[in-house]
Chains A and B, each alone.
Chain A
């Protein structure tokens, strides 16, 4: 259980929106993490440098925060290794097949007013809510 934190959510959200806007305005690229990782892994891709740099920046954020005295909290993960592996594989496969994730479809795609992204976002929100309802309420131990 976590508390509703509207102020930090709004500040953090605005920064995410700013990052996506700046990346598009400056470089013309979509700040979609699954696409950035997928393209960065592709060994024949000639457009890899900016992807690696973006991920490096993303990883630098928690280091900077801990230098400033705000270390990143250790994440709460599922107890079962099988669930972790299944979840990771589904996220990887699903985002590549669906062409995007929370950032690529949910932020950038909706900002482009793309129907594909509206539909993708509605679908992944829906299945995630169903899974949480099942795991937390129906089959909760």
Chain B
């Protein structure tokens, strides 16, 4: 049932990205281009999503446990650390360069565009690089990695 629910949620998520136009990098870049011909659509997407999900999450938090699982994987990390700031800044740079974030990038694989496939391979390599670095690198402790992975 969990697998089926996850598939259904992925499908709804994908339909949302398609209908909203957020699968199109050009539309995302037009939102980010506040000094040019600005397209505020992405702001409407975020507001509409939050109008549904903020009360939804309040409801979920009030329940003792999820309907189909024993417990909730609610992220616990609260401190603002360097990883959060540096990581988010780097993500924004990549997002601004191509107009793709992870969800739309994966969904665009369905177009079989060689450029999208290259982007996704590079993205997965970037993720793997982070995971290898945090496992074997000198700076980050393993505990920190596990906690950081929990935001989403």
Contacts and interface: CB of A to CB of B under 8 A. Distances in A.
Number of chain B interface residues as a range: 35 or more
A27 B6 contact: yes
A129 B33 CA distance: 6
- State the majority secondary structure of interface residues on A: helix
Nearest to B66: A28
A95 B12 contact: no
Contacts of A70: 18
Given A50-B2, A97-B86, A116-B84, A131 B96 contact: yes
Interface string B28-51: 011011111101111011111111
B91 A87 contact: no
Nearest to A132: B32
Contacts of B3: 49-50, 53
B24 A2 contact: yes
A73 B125 contact: no
Contact of A96 (B6, B98, B131): B131
Interface of B: 2-27, 29-30, 32-37, 39-42, 44-54, 56-57, 59-61, 63, 65-69, 71-75, 77-80, 83-103, 105-111, 113, 115-116, 118-131, 148-152
Given A18-B56, A27-B6, A136-B33, 11 more contacts: A21-B60, A24-B60, A38-B127, A60-B10, A75-B108, A77-B116, A90-B94, A99-B77, A105-B151, A107-B53, A115-B78
Interface of A: 1-6, 8-35, 37-39, 41-42, 49-51, 53-65, 70, 72-78, 81, 83-112, 114-117, 119-121, 123-133, 135-137
